[in-house]
Structure 1
Amino acid sequence: MIGALARKFFGSANDRRVKGYQSRVAAINALEPEVAALSDDALKARTAEFKAQLEAGKTLDDLLVPAFATVREAAKRTLGQRHFDVQLIGGMVLHEGDIAEMKTGEGKTLVATLAVYLNALAGKGVHVVTVNDYLAKRDSGWMGQIYSFLGLTTGVIVHGLDDAERQAAYACDITYGTNNEYGFDYLRDNMKYRLEDMVQRKHFYAIVDEVDSILIDEARTPLIISGPLDDRSEFYNTIDTFLPKLEKTTDFEVDEKQRTVTLTEAGMEKIETLLRDAGQLKGENLYDVENVSVVHHINQALRAHSLFNRDKDYIVRDDEVIIIDEFTGRMMQGRRYSEGLHQALEAKEHVTVQPENQTLASITFQNYFRMYKKLAGMTGTALTEADELFDIYKLEVVEVPTNVGIGRMDEDDEVYRTQDEKHAAILAEIERANARMQPVLVGTASIEKSEVLGEYLLKNGYKLIDFTKPKAMDKLYAAARSGKPAKLFAVLNARFHEQEAYIVAEAGVPGAITIATNMAGRGTDIKLGGSVEMRAQIETADIADEAEKAAKIAEIKAEIERFREIVLNAKEVVEIEPAKGSKPAKTVEKPGGLYIMGSERHESRRIDNQLRGRSGRQGDPGRSKFFLSLEDDLMRIFGSDRLDTMLTRLGLKEGEAIIHPWINKALEKAQQKVEARNFDIRKNLLKYDDVQNDQRKVIFEQRVDLMQNDSVAETVNDMRRAFVEDLVTKHVPENQYAEQWDVAGLKEELKRVLDLDLPVDEWAKEEGIADEELLNRIEQKADEHMAAKVAQWGPDVMRYVEKTILLQTLDHLWREHLVMLDHLRQVIGLRGYGQRDPLQEYKAEAFNLFEAMISNLREAVTAQLMRVEIVPPDVQPELPVMEAHKLDYNTGEDEMAFANAALAPMGQQQPAAARDPNNQDTWGKVGRNEDCPCGSGKKFKHCHGRYA
């Protein structure tokens, strides 16, 4: 209560912070007339002036006011848009390295230009992170006009660029790209063998668009670079044939909350029998050590059949299983689950089973984005996750006020007993809205549910708009002109990905009905009446005459303004029936504008808020309401049984809904519990990954140091001496008599590892010889052996060979180490049964494994260099063919892994049948030891792949 009183008199902490920006906003506004009077050249020259001031000792904070005023004026001249005062505040929040929460339609894309320009003046590169390639390309081209006008360069990183194109984009003052591309480029850079091949610069400053989606929703799935293993498609198909023979509850149990499936004892016995009959079981039983891999793949097959649903989690198209992003409803073309899960899905759907992969490098988004010296973000929905964003990233959320007050009415949820009753209620509400020409956006949680709802509309006389045909919207426009509803609807989900921007832009036309999966990160505003830009682009595409085109655009603008008025006036007057014995009926006017209908609640309140936020932009009126049923996933999984019983007792009739603010609060609490659980999962993931991250930093920094040095001779010499010392200490312990030395073992190890046949047995018989003297003689012989190789091949060749072998061996052992850490993570939880903290145990074991890896590195590098024979054309190191993934350690799957992301920079390997011997463009990536595609009969490395 005291806190509430304090907020009333002094304002909240957020209010006070926003108020603190007002003085600088006033200073920027005061500069506007002076800056507006400058010529284009004079305005552009301010960039050079600002850079000179920075070199002279001024800070970016000192330049904020004049720099913001400059960007505002440049935006007016290039885009015809002027930053509002609240947008200036948003820009200041971003510059300070925090999150600006700004409602949909407040112009976040334009806001970013202020902080981007100011920080780009430092010349260290600014990264703007978007959720998809479309937005990266759109925003870099659109906002790039401002930067180009002011003399700064803009690059864009999207899927499919080669290394030269990526280097050029990262070298720009400002670089736009997706979170995945930035992360994968970082991992690929740390697998390169030369500094000049690396594409990224240092991580100076980044602004993350849709920051909650990227830093929270996607943070549980680390980025993985992996390489292919042997083909085991028959094994997956064999396992899949067992699944129909298993029965739920008796043979296996499903936990939807935890997303796990476990075999019962009866199920294990049945599977053992089936495996034994199929010749796939080694040893006596399923849990013998030889069958660990088999058990893992059975579990993945169970998960594929029990937890993953076609047209919700994935779709099947053109002999492929294509993943659907749970947060956006988009098809993730080319992306694959790993750990054998995608192969299990392919076997389940009877499509071609592709080979699986092994991890080569990995990083979480948390650890990638924490590398930036300064990080900022913007979104419409971050306050519900403010604690997590501060806890993990030290980012504070600042709620920036809207330019115009929000005019949207958010109504209480309507809860029905069954899905059918809910669909009937949604249809009735659509009917009423359509009759008064109010545009409707119906939000669904998955493709499957959007199509169920679409089928329901089709059965009830509505027609689907086919956006693949020209003039698809003409009937809807004609209906809007006549004022009579056309009963047409559009579906926006992964199946209609290509028409996404058009469907979203026209969702505000009078009488439009749009069914959409999650609306996070769509990046296109829904404007009441429709989009001038989208219609002009489509309807003037065939008009060559400029005057005719201008007249057509003016006609479109006038019509959209008329449409807007229709939508604004599509109000609903509702008479609320009085309770018995109370006052007369009350009339309530519900606003026009875009009507948002949610077909169910999501696990996260943010997703619901993102859907609601599509209505009521820039002061427009609007409505939102959620329709729920007790059969919805959230209600079903989180305890609707008791509620169903209670409603039955209360006599709730079919078709009736329960509507009460208490229901909303109860649902919100359920959502908060789910969010808290997901936060714990992500936090736990980060604790484990921090252990790996400390080791990753050491390895990656060591690689860069090695590549920077012209010679690593001193490093490999130290490794060789350390290895010899360890070897001698092991076989010739200190303070022991010569008779107790393991001379035979030492001689054998020297021959095996160093390829040195030394008379250590003779030396050991010499009177008075000490272990130190023995060590010195062995080191001397080893040094002489290496000196002979240097003399034979020359210092330059040996320096190159040393660096190559050191880097390749380090990479190989690091990959093996990653696999060991993955296996360790999967079993370390069992230590909890022994009253030991699994995390502390993991830290200790991971440290021991890391030390063992370093010891193995010394031995492996020493052994290879002592034995190396050099054939000049074969020395060049080669990166493996790679794929990229996003691994969820907690569910044991790689989510949204995309197979082609890492291939473009190196060239994709082509099947032999697709290669034309006379056309090298068709060869793609050819392995060094493959037969040359030209047909010469030689290996590629000795033919067209030979180094000059």
Structure 2
Amino acid sequence: MLGIGNLAKKVFGTPNDRKIKATRPTVEKINALEADFQALDDAGLIAKTDEFRKRVAEGEKLDDILPEAFANCREAARRALGLRAFDVQLMGGIFLHEGNIAEMKTGEGKTLVATFPAYLNALTGKGVHIVTVNDYLARRDAEWMGKVYSALGMTTGVIYPQQPDQEKQAAYQADITYATNNELGFDYLRDNMKSELSQMYQRDHFFAIVDEVDSILIDEARTPLIISGPSQDRSELYITIDKVIPELKDEHFTLEEKTRNVTFTEEGNEFLEQKLHEAGILPEGQTLYDPESTTIVHHVNQGLRAHKLFQRDKDYIVRDGEVVLIDEFTGRMMAGRRLSEGLHQAIEAKEGCQIQPENVTLASVTFQNYFRLYDKLAGMTGTALTEAEEFADIYGLGVVEVPTNEPIARVDEHDAVYRTAKEKYDAIVEEIKKAHAKGQPALVGTTSIEKSEFLSQLLTEAGVPHNVLNARQHEKEAQIVAEAGKLGAVTIATNMAGRGTDIKLGGNVEMKVMEALEADPEANPDEVRARIEAEHAEEEQKVKEAGGLFVLATERHESRRIDNQLRGRSGRQGDPGRSAFFLSLEDDLMRIFGSERLDKVLSSLGMKDGEAIVHPWVNKSLERAQAKVEARNFDIRKQLLKFDDVMNDQRKVVFSQRLDIMKNADLSDVAEDMRHQVIDDLVDHYMPPKSYADQWDTQGLHDEVRAKLNIDVPVKDWAAEEGVDDDVIRERLVEASDAAMAEKTEGFGAETMRSIEKQILLQTIDAKWREHLLTLEHLRSVVGFRGYAQRDPLNEYKTEAFQLFEGMLDSLREDVTQKLSQVRPMTKEEQEAMMQQMLEQQKAQAEQQRLAALAITGKDQPPSGTPRAGFDENDPATWGNPGRNEPCPCGSGKKFKHCHGAF
């Protein structure tokens, strides 16, 4: 009897079926327009693009233009590539345009699907980003699909590492830009370190289509992108803290050798506070528990670990004044390896070595937060349903399963479970030999390089010819994958295999044609193609008769998604195929998830050596185990994201402020507001509201005003006047500081002063943000301990991060005000001295070039600045016969080839 849920599905269809059904009328509209667009000439397709752009600019919605735009794009692809999109590909395009993830099986043509929503959304003029997993695919897809966009009158760009600036800017200005997730993320960070708007690469974050979306938004989501650089020298801090640590007594800390952990006790904290106050590291009135003390607490903890946990000649040695770590397992020195977060520097201070600077984070972002910047996000992959909850929860993306163009004919067998790994591998080799003997191509999936090489050795011993595809052979990836569907081929692949290149039965025609033409460049390409296509058709038929591609997995992965990716390589476009998983109780997944029970069951069944258990129940229990692991990994990513969101909110504020500063030509109002706020804070501090005049610290206010605002005013005399309160003094300070700045602006000239304000604001924001990132890193590393006090670490982190951010903004105002108050125009004497210095430097450089030229030629040349005797600029006959690398006879000091000898 059907359950209620199943009955509802029978009557109304699944939610996925309903979404598919809803797109059918739109697909029919696109098909109805096909003849109209086929009737247009090439110029007519481009004219249509111009017409659509105009309609969008006039306010027409993209959804209304969609059927015509898709029909235009389908026709352009047919002409440019000879590919006519199937109805299911149009459906995929509609789902992407709506901001969903389209789950499309391998070989269903996802690369072409992306062109439809990309073209439609690029009509807005805002630029569309198509994101791929590696540079090879970004370049391949941009070149391949660029023909379609070009036929539609649109431009295509591609982003790759170490790209020249001008080329990168042009690529981002294109209508459609192909790039990897890493390059997009790093360019976003680099843009927010620039000081001129014209130097920035990226435009709006309008619409991104992410290919292999599960790999980019889930597998790589745990790793943040970080741009780092050497930090300022803090040797003094390490050395001062290092002097305090040896004074600690046993009651000041607790040491747990088992967990290699050491912490301060209450007495230890009190003792430390007193010592740090004496050393001037901890400001008066500040305790170790204040948010501002986070960095000091972090360094003190690292100092304690350096002294109590790390022993010389056991954990490290000192060689040539350098601390070198020792590997605890091999006892070998690990030259060049350094401990992070200041621990290595603490050991250097302890040993009296020279302290090397730490690397500090200049900017960082996670993929999760980068891709959430886009107004609209979409993705494509063959496997997303298992992670649908995470996509919905974190990115607000729905997952739609798009039906295949041809029904799937692949046979998926139940998992075969063996008792030992040896029995499993014996069975795998036998199975491969059987497939190879009948000419069925086999793709064998392993979980690591080590296992792929072990299996390769077994197959070599068994005399089975095969290819191995893993990270060590990734340059040959496309070629090995292209041959994996040939008659009798055996290919061993780790998880990274097969991305972006389909396994076609009988092999890949394009690859065969390319190889044939390389071998015989004189051959007629059309004749070669015709011959190879005929041979290929025959081989493809033989492979189909042998059963199509056989996917054999040697282990279950932690994630069902990776298993499904491997399985999906077989049975593309309705081809026959077969898949099987061979497991043993010694596999990692089986070992961790209750193999003892299974072992007892298998023993009680009286299984013989080499026998396997094959049953749907085993599949079910394995799927449950995998779902548990996936849920745990999702929780880890979710927790990481919650912490990163705190920093992300602050990052957005800082980056948008930087952008405003760069866009604004006149920042005098901002600088003035900051200056007035600093005056308010100073007056409130030294003359607290509602206090009496005898409680005012006028001397302190005078000194601070002089230091922060660079003005010398008689604050004491003002305070002694009858009827003067804090508001009057505030007004007088504002007037005096405004007058000083007006005088300064006059001295520099208004335009120069505006430029100085802009540069000081940007430099100070960047420096403060870098310090703040470091403090947040330190806070993050210690906030977990708050859990022991029954306090939620995340809430504690949010509260303290907010307080630190407020403190950063206060010190930003003070720094900017102080720097602006101290800049001054150069006197005439200083300008002359600077000019003189520059002239001397130029002379010294010219002399160096002359000496270098002498060293090269061995000939004595006239000194730089003196032309050769009889030299006439207009008569080459008077120049003599200098070598290309010799100094020019005109006496310029340059090489001849760069001066009068230049072509």
- Does the alignment pair 1:129 with 2:131? yes
Deviations 1:245-278, CA, capped at 9 Å, x for gaps:
xxxxxxxxxxxxxxxxxx9525749999xxxxxx
Deviations 1:464-504, CA, capped at 9 Å, x for gaps:
xxxxxxxxxxxxxxxxxxxxxxx321111111111111011
Deviation at 1:289, TM superposition (A): 5.4
Structure 1 unaligned runs (5+)? 233-262, 273-282, 310-318, 322-335, 344-353, 463-486, 571-591, 876-915, 919-948
Q: Which range is displaced more, 832-841 or 559-568?
A: 832-841
Which residue in the other structure is 1:803 paired with? 758
Which residue in the other structure is 2:736 paired with? 781
Q: Distance in 2 between matches of 1:320 and 1:652?
A: 53
Residue in structure 2 matching 1:502, options 457, 479, 504: 479
Q: How does 1:614-693 map to 2 (within 5 A)?
A: 614-693=569-648
- Does the alignment pair 1:754 with 2:754? no
Q: How does 1:322-721 map to 2 (within 5 A)?
A: 357-458=359-460, 460-462=461-463, 487-519=464-496, 522-545=499-522, 547=524, 549-570=525-546, 592-721=547-676
Q: Which range is displaced more, 551-560 or 401-410?
A: 551-560
Q: Distance in 2 between matches of 1:819 and 1:32?
A: 58
Q: Tell me, what secondary structure is at the counterpart of 1:522?
A: coil
Alpha-carbon distance change, 392 to 773 in structure 1, aligned in 2, over 3 angstroms:
same
Which residue in the other structure is 1:89 paired with? 91
1:132 maps to a residue whose letter is N
Q: Distance in 1 between matches of 2:731 and 2:298?
A: 48
Deviation at 1:776, TM superposition (A): 2.3
Which residue in the other structure is 1:37 paired with? 39
Q: Distance in 2 between matches of 1:504 and 1:736?
A: 81
Does the aligned pair in 2 maintain the 1:505–1:534 contact within 8 Å? Answer: yes
- Does the alignment pair 1:265 with 2:257? yes
Deviation at 1:139, TM superposition (A): 0.5
Does the aligned pair in 2 maintain the 1:407–1:621 contact within 8 Å? Answer: yes
Q: Which range is displaced more, 192-201 or 634-643?
A: 634-643
2:257 maps to a residue whose letter is E
Alpha-carbon distance change, 31 to 340 in structure 1, aligned in 2, over 3 angstroms:
farther
Alpha-carbon distance change, 26 to 340 in structure 1, aligned in 2, over 3 angstroms:
farther
Q: Distance in 2 between matches of 1:690 and 1:218?
A: 17
Residue in structure 1 matching 2:720, options 736, 742, 765: 765
Which residue in the other structure is 2:216 paired with? 214
Q: Which range is displaced more, 657-666 or 151-160?
A: 657-666
Deviation at 1:632, TM superposition (A): 1.9
Q: Distance in 1 between matches of 2:685 and 2:637?
A: 44
Q: Distance in 2 between matches of 1:393 and 1:871?
A: 54
Deviation at 1:637, TM superposition (A): 2.8
Aligned-residue sequence identity (percent) comes to: 60
1:760 maps to a residue whose letter is V
Does the aligned pair in 2 maintain the 1:99–1:398 contact within 8 Å? Answer: yes
Residue in structure 2 matching 1:793, options 723, 748, 758: 748
2:654 maps to a residue whose letter is I
2:526 maps to a residue whose letter is A
1:139 maps to a residue whose letter is D
Alpha-carbon distance change, 917 to 79 in structure 1, aligned in 2, over 3 angstroms:
farther
Which residue in the other structure is 1:18 paired with? 20
Deviations 1:786-839, CA, capped at 9 Å, x for gaps:
233222222222211111111111111111111112222222222223332222
Does the aligned pair in 1 maintain the 2:132–2:180 contact within 8 Å? Answer: yes
- Does the alignment pair 1:140 with 2:142? yes
Deviation at 1:461, TM superposition (A): 4.1
Number of corresponding residues: 757
Alpha-carbon distance change, 630 to 803 in structure 1, aligned in 2, over 3 angstroms:
same
Deviations 1:509-563, CA, capped at 9 Å, x for gaps:
111111111146710000001001111112212433352x322222222222222
Which residue in the other structure is 2:780 paired with? 825
1:766 maps to a residue whose letter is E
Q: How does 1:145-156 map to 2 (within 5 A)?
A: 145-156=147-158
Q: Distance in 1 between matches of 2:678 and 2:738?
A: 13
Does the aligned pair in 1 maintain the 2:102–2:400 contact within 8 Å? Answer: yes
Q: Distance in 2 between matches of 1:821 and 1:786?
A: 35
Alpha-carbon distance change, 83 to 832 in structure 1, aligned in 2, over 3 angstroms:
same
Which residue in the other structure is 2:697 paired with? 742
Alpha-carbon distance change, 51 to 795 in structure 1, aligned in 2, over 3 angstroms:
same
Residue in structure 1 matching 2:205, options 181, 196, 203: 203
Q: Which range is displaced more, 619-628 or 359-368?
A: 359-368
Q: Distance in 2 between matches of 1:681 and 1:134?
A: 31
Alpha-carbon distance change, 294 to 631 in structure 1, aligned in 2, over 3 angstroms:
farther
Q: Distance in 1 between matches of 2:28 and 2:326?
A: 61
Q: Tell me, what secondary structure is at the counterpart of 2:467?
A: strand
1:556 maps to a residue whose letter is I
Alpha-carbon distance change, 229 to 37 in structure 1, aligned in 2, over 3 angstroms:
same
Which residue in the other structure is 2:817 paired with? 862
Deviations 1:628-647, CA, capped at 9 Å, x for gaps:
22222222233334433443
Q: Distance in 2 between matches of 1:308 and 1:122?
A: 59
Higher relative contact order (CA 8 A, sep 6+): 1
Q: Distance in 2 between matches of 1:199 and 1:178?
A: 15
Deviation at 1:37, TM superposition (A): 2.1
Q: Distance in 2 between matches of 1:65 and 1:599?
A: 46
Does the aligned pair in 1 maintain the 2:570–2:578 contact within 8 Å? Answer: yes
TM (norm. structure 1) is 0.75
Q: In proportion to residue count, which structure has more helix?
A: 2
Q: Tell me, what secondary structure is at the counterpart of 1:652?
A: coil
Q: Distance in 1 between matches of 2:371 and 2:341?
A: 25
Q: Distance in 1 between matches of 2:491 and 2:263?
A: 47
1:57 maps to a residue whose letter is G
Q: Distance in 2 between matches of 1:193 and 1:229?
A: 20
Deviation at 1:604, TM superposition (A): 0.8
Deviation at 1:682, TM superposition (A): 1.5
Q: Which range is displaced more, 11-20 or 132-141?
A: 11-20
Which residue in the other structure is 2:848 paired with? none
Q: Distance in 1 between matches of 2:822 and 2:35?
A: 76
Q: Distance in 2 between matches of 1:510 and 1:834?
A: 66
Q: Which has the larger radius of gyration?
A: 2
- Does the alignment pair 1:837 with 2:847? no
Which residue in the other structure is 2:351 paired with? none
Does the aligned pair in 2 maintain the 1:131–1:521 contact within 8 Å? Answer: no
Which residue in the other structure is 2:63 paired with? 61
- Does the alignment pair 1:113 with 2:115? yes
Q: Distance in 2 between matches of 1:342 and 1:90?
A: 53
Q: Tell me, what secondary structure is at the counterpart of 1:735?
A: coil
Alpha-carbon distance change, 457 to 542 in structure 1, aligned in 2, over 3 angstroms:
closer
Q: Distance in 1 between matches of 2:344 and 2:145?
A: 39
Alpha-carbon distance change, 520 to 714 in structure 1, aligned in 2, over 3 angstroms:
farther
Q: Tell me, what secondary structure is at the counterpart of 1:441?
A: strand
Residue in structure 2 matching 1:193, options 195, 204, 207: 195
Q: Distance in 2 between matches of 1:307 and 1:507?
A: 43
Deviation at 1:755, TM superposition (A): 3.3
Q: Distance in 2 between matches of 1:107 and 1:305?
A: 52
Q: Distance in 1 between matches of 2:608 and 2:140?
A: 51
TM (norm. structure 2) is 0.79
1:835 maps to a residue whose letter is Q
Structure 2 unaligned runs (5+)? 235-254, 265-274, 276-296, 317-324, 346-355, 832-850, 854-903
Which residue in the other structure is 2:874 paired with? none
Q: Distance in 1 between matches of 2:115 and 2:261?
A: 63
Q: Distance in 1 between matches of 2:329 and 2:205?
A: 38
